[in-house]
Amino acid sequence: MTGSVARFFDETAEDHDVLEPWYAHLQARLAHLVRATLDRAPEPGRPGRPPRALDAGCGTGFPAVHLAALGYAVHGVDLAIRLLAIARGAGRLRAMAVGDVRALPYPEAAFEVATCCGSTLSFVPDPATALRELARVLVPGGRLLIEVEHRWSLDLGWALLSALLRDPLGYGLSWREALAPVVEPRDTACWLRYPGYPPLRLFTRVELDRLLRAAGLEPVRWWGIHAVTNLIPSTVLHRPRLPPLLGALYRGLCALDRRLSPRRAGRGLANSLVVLATRGD
């Protein structure tokens, strides 16, 4: 699967920075959370160098630019060579490596903070190994911000409804595929196809919490993104722009989504689950 994921992102690299309404809200929320949770770069573990940050699954350089603005020396790692080339060409990243998050090319305790966003962990066949690697490269007490695809979202309801009505919303799933995330045990690995993407792993909070703790990472805070915005099917929001009335409705839902993000209502049915964790001493 790793090779097919790398090929997919290399083949779609030129469109990676085109922010459809769905991604514009997601990236704005993640940028806010990076600034809010990873601000005040800690004192470096080694004299003579600035604190360092790793952007794992960095793509074209988000959220590397926000980490750099906070005073970190940022390193990026990604499987997709063309995404890294765009990041370098745009001046968003200077230090980067082609690599797998399950085998990071860095020594132990190399970074004060790390991010793993863009649903990177949802494309990884073995997230437990990836989380152990992320913990390994963090200094004791280091912080990690992760964003993954969440299993219990309103969008699953739209996908199932669409499947039952011969797919007018374009999710491309049979009713059995759409029903599987709802009926499978919550601790079972759950993968789902989404139009135009490789299969995505959907995490529950219980599962992600367990994986983090097993890797030596302590969850500190949780957020949800795209909870009430999922009152509009995600397939409708994956387009260059929205009609005026739908756009106005969506902006209002985005404002409400921001307010609900740290609350139980904003996490329980969110499409993306975000967690801040720290490495134990």
- CATH of residue 8: 3.40.50.150
Is the CB of residue 56 less than 8 Å from the CB of residue 134?
yes
- Whether 164 is covered by a domain: the verdict is no
pTM of the shown model: 0.93
Cβ-Cβ contacts under 8 Å for 211 (sequence gap 6 or more): 127, 128, 131
The pair phi, psi for residue 193, each rounded to 5°, is -80, 145
CA angle 101, 106, 112 (to 5 degrees): 90
What is residue 241's DSSP assignment?
-
- Whether 185 is covered by a domain: the verdict is no
CA angle 114, 96, 124 (to 5 degrees): 60
User: What's the pLDDT score for residue 45?
Assistant: 54
User: What's the pLDDT score for residue 188?
Assistant: 74
- Tokens representing residue 127 in the block: 């997230």
- Whether 178 is covered by a domain: the verdict is no
Is the CB of residue 272 less than 8 Å from the CB of residue 119?
yes
Residues with pLDDT less than 70, the chain:
1-2, 41-48
- Whether 192 is covered by a domain: the verdict is no
Q: How many structural domains are present in the chain?
A: 1
User: What's the pLDDT score for residue 184?
Assistant: 82
User: What's the pLDDT score for residue 46?
Assistant: 58
Burial of residue 31 (CB within 10 Å: 0-12, 13-18, 19+) is middle
- Quickly tell me which residue has 């132990």 as its tokens: 108
Please tell me the distance from the alpha carbon of residue 37 to that of residue 35, in angstroms, as a whole number: 6
- Whether 183 is covered by a domain: the verdict is no
pLDDT digits (tens, 9 = 90+) for 128-145: 999 999 999 999 999 999
Residue-range definition of the domain harbouring residue 108: 2-150+198-279
- Whether 156 is covered by a domain: the verdict is no
- Whether 187 is covered by a domain: the verdict is no
How many Cβ atoms sit within 10 Å of the Cβ of residue 98?
Answer: 13
- Whether 167 is covered by a domain: the verdict is no
